Structure 1
Amino acid sequence: MTWRTTYEKWDSYQGMDPTLKKQLEEMGSSKIELEDAFYKELTFGTGGMRGTLGPGTNRMNIYTVRKAVNGLVNYLKANSEDVETRGIAVAYDSRYMSKEFAIETAKVLGAFGITSYVFESLRPTPILSFAVRHLGAVAGVMITASHNPPEYNGFKVYNEDGGQITPSEAAQIIKSVQAIKDELCVPVNEQVKVEQNGLLNWIGEEVDQAYLKSLKSISRYQHGSNRFEPITIVFTPLHGTSFHPVMDGLTQLGFNHVHVVEDQANPDPEFSTVSSPNPEEHQAFKMAIEQGKRVDADILIATDPDSDRLGVAVKDGKNAYTVLSGNQLGTLMLDYLLSQSSQELLDNGRLIKTIVTTEMGRAVASHYGVGTIDTLTGFKFIGEKIKEFETTKEQFLFGYEESYGYLIGDFVRDKDAVQAAMVACEMTSFWKAKGKTLIEALHTLYERHGYYLEDMTSLTLKGKDGAEKIAKMMADIRENEVTQIGGLPVVYVEDYATSERTAMATGSKEKIELPTENVVKFLLTNNSWVCLRPSGTEPKIKCYFGVSSGSMDESNSLLQQLKEDMTQKINKSV
């Protein structure tokens, strides 16, 4: 079926949602826009499907959501037990259509006789992960597009362990979704009927209180022998979901000097005070920094809209604030947690990080006698490893990725900005008692382990043409042998699509014991590395860089060399 045939089917559908019908009519004069909306179906990436709102099979709308739910139902019925009675937990964030998509999910589930547990109001992604485990649900659905622009929304699926679906699960769900030939004819019941039949259950406070109780367990106060100092905190939820859980969690731990950025406290699908609601981008801290200076804050914390990512800014000693990178914040939290853990925990403890996360984490973990496990990019792989620990009896201590995702307590199986906010504030208090800011604490770690620096560049290429260009770039990098980057020789090439690690000097190969993925990583001399990876959720190709040396100046110089050379190599393929 061509894209035009699919478009005509939608255009002639008598029961079309009025809003989508109007949008279709407005798109009718643009062949490019119509083709992009209908040339393919939204597929599951690193955590589910995500796309721009609007009509079409390549857009987020009630029909593509219904089809995804129908496919999920068929998959669960074929692979799980007691699906109807165990039910599915559903949560949603502050974006356009989020609550509507959550209710559509419940309406489709109800048509199949499956119970849904839908939060009465918006909630963070980690609380959805917690709810799946707490309720014993067979799966979970989170309606969110994380930190993407306002025109996006998404549908993330969680398995019964509360983790993002794994690649094997995703492959089966995709197959199940694709088997449904007509997204416009998915069975659906009216909301009132589903409620009357007891198949739509609204949930809230009981789950929230259970989460808060578990949240308290990650505190290391009881292990530390040092006196903790009161600190002043500035907090912004960036118009998202984290206001209540973060504030309740901080109060529970005894942090009473919390100043909220009021203009960013309320949910807002336009994210009107920031150009992007992403704490990875420094502009998101503009208002928090202004408020931090007024109240002389020790730490500024910002969460993304669905509250699975945390950004932090701290005093830099020059009457200003520095935004920490995800690698820096994660390494600081790791060191704090391990330094305050019992020897019993450390003896069998494990750090889990991704292949593009700083190698400084491995150095810190080794310092405390803790082993490090690497996974592919995506927190679903970290959650999967935690599940394996139930059999291996290894002890999960910390998991993180460079893109501001962290997990401390395994009662959640996805990155959790609420947990991370608690630990970030606690360790700020810990270091303040020692007379140091987090910046000074970070330099203490650099002096101990080496000056590890990382960076990432990305190239956005939207639409069908963009996807083809990204595919060509990855093909070119594989076909044309790269022997050096930034003047540093390539020692090994790791191709995760073929699961092979090749030694450049001998040509010998060894197997990479990780799932396959379209990623190429170059291991260079001087503990440096470069990794090229198309995003699973955005129309981007990302290039990650890591270096280590005995001084900050040398590391900065090495990093710049790598970035300049790799940018040239990538641009030649565009």
Structure 2
Amino acid sequence: MSQWEEVYEKWRTYKNLDPALKQELDSMKENETLLEDAFYTELTFGTGGLRGVLGPGINRMNRYTVRKAVDGLANYLKANHANVSERGVAVSYDSRYMSQEFALETAKVLGAHGIRTYVFNKLHPTPLVSFALRHLEAVAGVMITASHNPPEYNGFKVYNEDGGQITPDEASDIIGYIQETEDELTVPYLEKEQLESQGFLTWIGQEIDDAYMKQLREMSRLGDEEQSKDKNLQIVFTPLHGTAHDLVLRGLKQLGFNQVDVVEEQAVADPEFSTVESPNPEEHQAFSMAIKLGEQTEADILIGTDPDADRLGVAVKQPTGKYTVLTGNQLGALMLDYILSRSDRTTLKDARMLKTIVTSELGRKIADYYDVKTIDTLTGFKYIGEKIRQFDATGETFIFGYEESYGYLISDFARDKDAVQAAVLASEMAYYWKAQGKTLFDALHLLFERHGFFQEDMMSLTLKGKEGSEKIASIMENIRKEPLTEIGGLQVQYVEDYLASERKALSHNQSEPIELPQENVVKYILDNESWVCLRPSGTEPKIKCYFGVCEESEEAGQKRLKDLKAHMEDVIK
């Protein structure tokens, strides 16, 4: 009997197995491939925590894999922090299948360790966990979410005491403690009634929302008198069946944005995300219903948040009257320029703009224009959060942080990407430009005229299961063995290997160190301010390839992107 079969037998014969999981396990018994995938390895504790398909098995999201993760987290916290029991852990959850149940499982296991848990009394956005744990001075936070993944997924995301996603070093330490828990089926826990009677479970909601709203209002670049005015801006908002509905509407209303139409069909918290192919504002099809409503109401701006409300998409009017969905890079550039243009230059001396290595270089150009330093981080908002934490000690000032995948942070009262913040600022920005007689589309082209016509794109290859993981590893190994010297007709000037922490100039074969944590990423710097970056996803079974170009026109940029993509498709096929 193989190792995975032994684990399967342990689950199959466990007399107290959750009935729903037992039924699903019985339905899988004739499918050896499916069983092996469910039991051949433990679900990886990766970018910030766990994320995977719901179902029975150690390679799936279920109450037992969650309990084991919480057990390891509890032991880690007790070994590395003081007053853990009293400070407690903040927990929230989104609209996915089993989210509320997994939030309660988290509290049950923490309670067995004598650790207090603050659980939101209804679904709440991811950034509210970051805010809540800082506000409550908790020792950690947990968000039950799989962000914009398909309906069959869920996840367990962990936050450190600063409110940021856990760093790789913290994750590594937590993994060590998780691995010490030998049997996921027998992790000790308390029942809900015991938690409440013994004071280990506190339900939270309105008081945290009120404190968050106060900070949200203070984030505005509008003056006090302007804030109180009723705004002449027609907005369409869709929460894409997720958590953002109440807080976004409240945040807009307190700044006088009262002309807001909600896509009612998508205001329902639906774990199937039944009105969209994917609940991801990066996918333009997610805006179909918002665009239809926008055409009816002649909206100035359309805003859409993903299910756990840490990503924001925005659609704006073109000169033709049609709506176009901005890319994450474009919206980030507009926000950055708005923030910096509305800031006193004398206060920007120590200001720092943060972006990831796969985010557009347009942001750096804008920051340079206002004499603000740009700092690059690895991909993932946990690195931006970690850098903000360092600023607390260095005296540098966080001014804005973003990534190309629709994640933005305007003010650091939260330490993770925050679509509620971004939705309110995007609306404020549209209002500002409308007062100048311009749309956000016009404002974007003003940036292109000033800094260059930057364009970006991304393609990905999905490779599921054990074979898929091996294929992704093989692609990255091969690209290191045989580095590219030309891509899409452009010469490679530099190769940045973030696993080797090395930046090599091909023209004179000299190298310099990269002062960032190691990660399985290779980036090519090409002629003409172009670049290509290859990176396995940390949250999905994908290998991703990112592209950036700067040309004289949109047409020239699109052609250049097409050439680069065609070349890389051959490389990773």
Query: For residues 544 and 40 of structure 2, what CA distance do their matches in structure 1 show?
Result: 24
- Greater Cα offset, 339-348 or 46-55: 339-348
- Corresponding residue number in structure 2 for 1:539: 541
Matched length:
571
- Corresponding residue number in structure 1 for 2:331: 329
Query: For residues 259 and 273 of structure 1, what CA distance do their matches in structure 2 show?
Result: 17
Q: Does 1:61 align with 2:98?
A: no
- Corresponding residue number in structure 1 for 2:284: 282
Deviations 1:270-319 (A, max 9, x none): 11111110000011000000000000000000000000000000111212
Deviations 1:401-455 (A, max 9, x none): 0000000010000000000001100010111111111111100000000000000
- Corresponding residue number in structure 1 for 2:14: 13
TM-score (norm 1): 0.98
- Corresponding residue number in structure 1 for 2:312: 310
- Corresponding residue number in structure 1 for 2:111: 110
Amino acid at match of 2:172: A
Deviations 1:244-266 (A, max 9, x none): 00000000111010000000111
Q: How does 1:93-242 map to 2 (within 5 A)?
A: 93-222=94-223, 230-242=232-244
Secondary structure (helix, strand or coil) at the match of 1:553 reads helix
Alpha carbons 2:231, 2:257 under 8 Å: kept: no
Secondary structure (helix, strand or coil) at the match of 1:361 reads helix
Amino acid at match of 2:8: Y
Alpha carbons 1:224, 1:340 under 8 Å: kept: no
- Corresponding residue number in structure 2 for 1:33: 34
Q: How does 1:235-250 map to 2 (within 5 A)?
A: 235-250=237-252
Alpha carbons 1:93, 1:305 under 8 Å: kept: yes
% same residue: 64
Query: For residues 72 and 532 of structure 1, what CA distance do their matches in structure 2 show?
Result: 32
Amino acid at match of 1:169: E
- Corresponding residue number in structure 2 for 1:89: 90
Alpha carbons 1:120, 1:202 under 8 Å: kept: yes
Alpha carbons 2:230, 2:257 under 8 Å: kept: no
How far did residue 224 of structure 1 move? 11
Give the alignment partner of residue 436 of structure 2, picking from 434, 437, 455.
434
Amino acid at match of 2:159: Y
Give the alignment partner of residue 566 of structure 1, picking from 560, 565, 568.
568
Secondary structure (helix, strand or coil) at the match of 2:170 reads helix
- Corresponding residue number in structure 2 for 1:462: 464
- Corresponding residue number in structure 2 for 1:348: 350
- Corresponding residue number in structure 2 for 1:369: 371
- Corresponding residue number in structure 2 for 1:294: 296
Deviations 1:499-521 (A, max 9, x none): 00111112211100000000000
Query: For residues 224 and 322 of structure 2, what CA distance do their matches in structure 1 show?
Result: 32
Amino acid at match of 1:266: V
Amino acid at match of 1:76: L
Query: For residues 27 and 509 of structure 2, what CA distance do their matches in structure 1 show?
Result: 57
Secondary structure (helix, strand or coil) at the match of 1:420 reads helix
Alpha carbons 2:91, 2:117 under 8 Å: kept: yes
Secondary structure (helix, strand or coil) at the match of 2:399 reads strand
Query: For residues 451 and 486 of structure 2, what CA distance do their matches in structure 1 show?
Result: 26
Alpha carbons 1:223, 1:341 under 8 Å: kept: no
Q: Does 1:481 align with 2:483?
A: yes
Secondary structure (helix, strand or coil) at the match of 2:408 reads strand
Alpha carbons 2:143, 2:157 under 8 Å: kept: yes
Query: For residues 370 and 224 of structure 1, what CA distance do their matches in structure 2 show?
Result: 29
Query: For residues 511 and 346 of structure 1, what CA distance do their matches in structure 2 show?
Result: 29
How far did residue 471 of structure 1 move? 0.3
- Give the unaligned 5+ runs of structure 1: none
Alpha carbons 1:299, 1:425 under 8 Å: kept: yes
How far did residue 178 of structure 1 move? 1.1
Secondary structure (helix, strand or coil) at the match of 1:253 reads coil
Alpha carbons 1:118, 1:202 under 8 Å: kept: yes
Query: For residues 193 and 510 of structure 2, what CA distance do their matches in structure 1 show?
Result: 64
Query: For residues 483 and 376 of structure 1, what CA distance do their matches in structure 2 show?
Result: 23
Query: For residues 358 and 569 of structure 1, what CA distance do their matches in structure 2 show?
Result: 23
Alpha carbons 1:108, 1:188 under 8 Å: kept: yes
Query: For residues 269 and 483 of structure 2, what CA distance do their matches in structure 1 show?
Result: 49
Secondary structure (helix, strand or coil) at the match of 1:510 reads strand
CA RMSD, 1 decimal: 1.3
Query: For residues 376 and 230 of structure 2, what CA distance do their matches in structure 1 show?
Result: 33
How far did residue 127 of structure 1 move? 0.5
Secondary structure (helix, strand or coil) at the match of 1:472 reads helix
Alpha carbons 1:228, 1:430 under 8 Å: kept: no
How far did residue 549 of structure 1 move? 2.1
- Corresponding residue number in structure 1 for 2:455: 453
Alpha carbons 2:93, 2:100 under 8 Å: kept: yes
Deviations 1:298-343 (A, max 9, x none): 0000000000000000111212100000000000000001000112
Amino acid at match of 2:534: L
Query: For residues 82 and 53 of structure 2, what CA distance do their matches in structure 1 show?
Result: 34
Query: For residues 209 and 414 of structure 2, what CA distance do their matches in structure 1 show?
Result: 13
Query: For residues 438 and 178 of structure 1, what CA distance do their matches in structure 2 show?
Result: 50
- Corresponding residue number in structure 2 for 1:79: 80
Alpha carbons 2:345, 2:370 under 8 Å: kept: no
Amino acid at match of 2:107: A
How far did residue 229 of structure 1 move? 5.8
Query: For residues 541 and 433 of structure 1, what CA distance do their matches in structure 2 show?
Result: 43
Alpha carbons 1:229, 1:432 under 8 Å: kept: no
Secondary structure (helix, strand or coil) at the match of 2:313 reads strand
- Corresponding residue number in structure 2 for 1:42: 43
Query: For residues 309 and 228 of structure 1, what CA distance do their matches in structure 2 show?
Result: 27
> Runs ≥4 in structure 1, deviation > 6 angstroms?
223-228
Query: For residues 181 and 502 of structure 1, what CA distance do their matches in structure 2 show?
Result: 44
- Corresponding residue number in structure 2 for 1:495: 497
Deviations 1:214-233 (A, max 9, x none): 01111001299999961100
- Corresponding residue number in structure 1 for 2:445: 443
Query: For residues 465 and 455 of structure 1, what CA distance do their matches in structure 2 show?
Result: 27
Q: Does 1:417 align with 2:423?
A: no
How far did residue 344 of structure 1 move? 3.1
Secondary structure (helix, strand or coil) at the match of 2:254 reads helix
- Sort the Cα spacing of 1:224 and 1:310 in 2 relative to 1 into closer, same or farther, 3 A: farther
- Corresponding residue number in structure 2 for 1:386: 388
Secondary structure (helix, strand or coil) at the match of 1:425 reads helix
- Sort the Cα spacing of 1:284 and 1:251 in 2 relative to 1 into closer, same or farther, 3 A: same
How far did residue 552 of structure 1 move? 2.3
Amino acid at match of 1:454: E
Alpha carbons 2:231, 2:256 under 8 Å: kept: no
Query: For residues 27 and 338 of structure 1, what CA distance do their matches in structure 2 show?
Result: 56
- Give the unaligned 5+ runs of structure 2: none
Secondary structure (helix, strand or coil) at the match of 2:508 reads coil
